Structure 1
């Protein structure tokens, strides 16, 4: 229900603050409670299906990860951060992060090393999030030169 047009800005701010604080004040409401959320995810882990990959310049290479248990708890989602640590000279690789598959397109031949971080994230309050790391690993991609055009 929208606020009436005549509601003052102070009233609107107070109502918004009350709505944000209500879940913390009423323990029977569904959703992750502050502090209890990380205890739920402490049993979760993620793994790289392969830390050693090969591909061809300009072609997509899939970096696949697995979450165990496979379904995140209610209120959580999985994020992936892939950071190039060492890449051959030339254009930087293109990275399309995603879970369970991140796509990497090498733009130069040679060995590429990446840091791979997987986190489970939940919104903990009106203005913040809680993160729990479930994977911090390295991946190596050996990229062959693109085939010569006929």
Structure 2
């Protein structure tokens, strides 16, 4: 019973992440090479609110304690059929216009409410417009698909 409630809560968090994504990351949707890609960004503090026994409190190695941490969530679908892509290797490269360098993060598969999304923690250290390049490698495809989102981060 408790596990079912937590699974529903986790599903709600993913829904919120995908719903908030458009407010933070331009429109939160890209279509490229036959894939429909959705990006959501939520403060890592949302994950900090889970009890330590909850699966989300330790996902991706835990949220850590650095300031300005965000949780990136990506959902990938076949654009034609609408089928969710659950066997991809997904990563993100994040660079700010006013910051030197780029950070990369592997986005781990997350099974929540019997669906797979991909997620990971990143630090957006200051007020800036960040470009987020999501790279998606799918078995059987000759090359990865890359899509770019922009996100304004205001402290």
TM class, shorter-length: 0.3 to 0.5
Q: Which structure would you say has the larger RCO, counting Cα contacts within 8 Å and 6 or more residues apart? A: 1
Q: Rg: which structure is higher?
A: 1
Q: How does the TM-score come out when normalised to structure 2?
A: 0.42
Q: How does the TM-score come out when normalised to structure 1?
A: 0.43
